[in-house]
């Protein structure tokens, strides 16, 4: 964690590459400014605006309908909340599969419009040329093999990949993406021994999600990690908090207090006009009183806009 008055050093691609086999990399997804600020303050190294936003934010059953414009919109919001962490934007379904040219254009859009610092794409040998071309354009790439949610229909559902002989394909795919120039690779839902083999075979960091402890880093979806998700939870999605229950309790308390009239009390209400001496001339713009972080500002003098944050 970093103090609020110290500008943290930005995590760079070379920093992350240098973590291979060393201090593990912590990566978390985020989809908006508020979450981005929290994960950054906590010292997370990489923040992924995943196309999982289709399921987490939009309530879809797969990531397939997510568009490049939607990704750029969420990446922009997250970028504004990050001071230290490296920002990765996910290339959504059909924004890169068509051709290496399409992949370069889509990656460029996420860098320019989404303020991303790298892009992630799913696939193995079949996208090696796409990765190579994006990297050649100066855009750092994170690969993603194993369970690839954009291929959920081809895979027959969200299930563990790389069992038995299929382990060789996961390894070959990871090697192809690394050789094409990716600087890191996500390994999703594969047996831990397969992830360990991939990790040993590559000179770039592996970041696991449901891939065991041998990876060079771990990634989780923020809402799973915080216990905000409802419904089915994958086995790997450890809850580090139960904020969902706390949120329901807090919303419930709000409902009760609104209905009973206990909220708002005097502490959450501006002074009535009758109790505020007039200190301004009629031509001065009207200013309000605001509560900021538990303290009440006396708004006779307007505060700068960024005071709210
Ligand atoms: O979209 C996503 O959130 C991801 C992570 C699960 C790695 O790809």
Tens of pLDDT, residues 105-157: 999 999 999 999 999 999 999 999 999 999 999 999 999 999 999 999 999 99
Q: Which of 29, 30, 236 to mutate to test the pocket of ligand 1 (most atoms within 8 A of CB)?
A: 29
The pLDDT value given to residue 7: 78
pLDDT of 307 higher than 60: no
pLDDT of 171 higher than 80: yes
pLDDT of 291 higher than 90: no
Distance 253 CA to ligand 1 centre (A): 34
287 — pLDDT class (breaks 50, 70, 90): very low
Ligand 1 pocket: which residues have CB below 6 Å?
29, 48, 50-52, 90, 144, 186, 188, 209, 219, 221
Share of the chain above pLDDT 90, in %: 84
More confident residue, 1 or 9: 9
Q: Which of 120, 121, 147, 148 to mutate to test the pocket of ligand 1 (most atoms within 8 A of CB)?
A: 120
**What's the whole-number average pLDDT of the chain?**
92
Distance 1 CA to ligand 1 centre (A): 24
91: nearest Cα among 69, 60, 59: 69
The pLDDT value given to residue 3: 54
Contacts of 124 (CB under 8 A, 6+ apart): 145, 169, 170, 172, 173, 174, 176, 177
Q: Rg for the chain (alpha carbons), in Å?
A: 23
Mean pLDDT score, 93-105: 98
Give me the active site residues, please: 188
Half-sphere exposure of 150 (CA within 13 A, CB side): 21
The pLDDT value given to residue 231: 84
CA angle 52, 56, 58 (to 5 degrees): 100
Residue 43 DSSP SS3: coil
8 — pLDDT class (breaks 50, 70, 90): confident
Residue 50 DSSP SS3: coil
Residue nearest to atom 8 of ligand 1 (CA): 50
236: nearest Cα among 295, 270, 187, 276: 187
Mean pLDDT score, 205-213: 98
The pLDDT value given to residue 120: 98
300 — pLDDT class (breaks 50, 70, 90): very low
Distance 52 CA to ligand 1 centre (A): 6
Do the beta carbons of residue 139 and residue 109 sit within 8 Å?
Answer: no
The pLDDT value given to residue 302: 64
Q: What domains, with CATH codes, occur in the chain? A: 13-225 (3.20.20.60), 276-308 (no CATH)
Distance 51 CA to ligand 1 centre (A): 7
* CA 220 to ligand 1: nearest atom: 6
pTM confidence score: 0.89
The pLDDT value given to residue 197: 98
Tens of pLDDT, residues 40-81: 999 999 999 999 999 999 999 999 999 999 999 999 999 999
């Amino acid at each position: 964690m970093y103090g609020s008055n110290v500008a943290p050093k930005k995590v760079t691609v070379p920093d992350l590459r240098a973590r291979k086999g060393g201090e593990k990399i912590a990566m978390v997804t985020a989809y908006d400014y508020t979450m981005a600020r929290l994960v950054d303050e906590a010292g997370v190294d990489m923040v992924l605006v995943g196309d999982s936003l289709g399921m987490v934010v939009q309530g879809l059953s797969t990531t397939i309908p997510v568009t490049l414009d939607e990704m750029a919109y969420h990446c922009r919001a997250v970028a504004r909340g990050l001071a230290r962490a490296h920002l990765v934007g996910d290339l959504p379904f059909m924004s890169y599969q068509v051709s290496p040219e399409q992949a370069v254009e889509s990656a460029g859009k996420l860098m320019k419009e989404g303020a991303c610092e790298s892009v992630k794409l799913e696939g193995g040998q079949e996208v090696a040329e796409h990765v190579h071309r994006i990297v050649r354009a100066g855009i750092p790439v994170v690969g993603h093999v194993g369970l690839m949610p954009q291929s959920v229909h081809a895979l027959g559902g969200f299930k563990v990949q790389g069992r038995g002989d299929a382990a060789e394909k996961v390894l070959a795919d990871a090697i192809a993406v690394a050789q094409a120039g990716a600087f890191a690779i996500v390994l999703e839902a594969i047996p831990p021994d397969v992830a360990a083999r991939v990790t040993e075979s590559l000179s770039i960091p592996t970041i696991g999600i449901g891939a065991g402890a041998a990876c060079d880093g771990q990634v989780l979806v923020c809402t799973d990690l915080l216990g905000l998700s409802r419904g089915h939870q994958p086995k790997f999605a450890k809850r580090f908090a139960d904020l969902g229950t706390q949120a329901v309790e807090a919303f419930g308390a709000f409902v009760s207090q609104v209905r009973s009239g206990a909220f708002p009390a005097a502490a959450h209400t501006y002074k009535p006009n009758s109790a505020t001496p007039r200190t301004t001339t009629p031509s001065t713009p009207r200013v309000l009183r605001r509560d900021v972080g538990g303290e009440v500002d006396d708004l006779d003098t307007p505060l700068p806009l960024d005071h709210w944050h």
